[in-house]
A and B are shown apart, each in its own frame.
Chain A
Amino acid sequence: EADIYQTPRYLVIGTGKKITLECSQTMGHDKMYWYQQDPGMELHLIHYSYGVNSTEKGDLSSESTVSRIRTEHFPLTLESARPSHTSQYLCASSESEKLFFGSGTQLSVL
């Protein structure tokens, strides 16, 4: 059904490393989103995009950055990872009100 992919599925990395979480969708959706899911399960919108060359910050302040050079691709980058960035990151896309989610990336920063 949904064709939205996130890689890697799991990532364990040391403090100070630069990382990029990949998100791609093949549905041609203009709108894409990044949510951060804390261990208590709550979801927080950290970035979204209306389309190519459009990026906006979400409700929760994040040190990560995003880019949208192609419709299908919406990567998230952390320039210098810290233990406080340990979390589950979920990417989503939509055409209308319905969101399609990827399987997420579980990031652990040691």
Chain B
Amino acid sequence: GNSVTQMEGPVTLSEEAFLTINCTYTATGYPSLFWYVQYPGEGLQLLLKATKADDKGSNKGFEATYRKETTSFHLEKGSVQVSDSAVYFCALSDRLSGGYNKLIFGAGTRLAVHP
């Protein structure tokens, strides 16, 4: 079945460092891909998405490119801030019966940014 694999955390960085969180997927067809973020004590929020190959999703300085050839959707940010400390989830949209979709999530990667 479809699945998502993320790099294990925690990832610990100093402020203004470059961030990469790796995500690869296994899927039949061409699902939409997502990054969600979960700040401490909160639910998940959509960070960015890409719906087809070579699409680049971007938001709040984060970006990720849908790479069909490497089945990857790595998250990057050029300069992280302390406020970026959170858990990041990669996800893909999978088909349910009746034409509906569900999200399959990776295991999550915890990011800690220190001043």
A97 to B100, CA, bound (A): 9
User: Are A41 and B87 neighbours in the complex by a CB distance under 8 Å?
Assistant: yes
Query: Between A and B, how many residue pairs show CB distances below 8 Å?
Result: 53
User: Are A90 and B102 neighbours in the complex by a CB distance under 8 Å?
Assistant: no
A50 to B97, CA, bound (A): 10
Which B residues from 24 to 48 make CB contacts under 8 A with A? 32, 34, 36, 41-46
Residue of B with least CB distance to A102: B43
Among B93, B102, B110, contact of A45 (Cβ-Cβ < 8 Å): B102
Against A, the Cβ 8 Å flags (1 = close, 0 = not) of B79-107 are 00000000101000100101011110101
Known: A41-B107, A41-B108, A42-B105. A97 touches B93 (CB 8 A): yes
Contacts of A31 in B (CB 8 A): 100
B24 to chain A, nearest CB (A): 16
User: Are B102 and A48 neighbours in the complex by a CB distance under 8 Å?
Assistant: yes
User: Are B43 and A103 neighbours in the complex by a CB distance under 8 Å?
Assistant: yes
A42 to B38, CA, bound (A): 12
Contacts of B100 in A (CB 8 A): 31, 50
A43 to B108, CA, bound (A): 8
Contacts of A97 in B (CB 8 A): 32, 34, 49, 93, 101, 103
Contacts of B107 in A (CB 8 A): 40-42
B55 to chain A, nearest CB (A): 13
User: Are A43 and B49 neighbours in the complex by a CB distance under 8 Å?
Assistant: no
> Is A99 part of the contact surface with B, judged by Cβ < 8 Å?
yes
Contacts of A58 in B (CB 8 A): 102
User: Are B44 and A48 neighbours in the complex by a CB distance under 8 Å?
Assistant: no
Among A45, A90, A98, contact of B43 (Cβ-Cβ < 8 Å): A90
Residues of A within 8 A of B (CB): 2, 4, 6, 31, 33, 35, 40-43, 45, 48, 50, 56, 58, 90, 92, 94, 97-99, 101-104
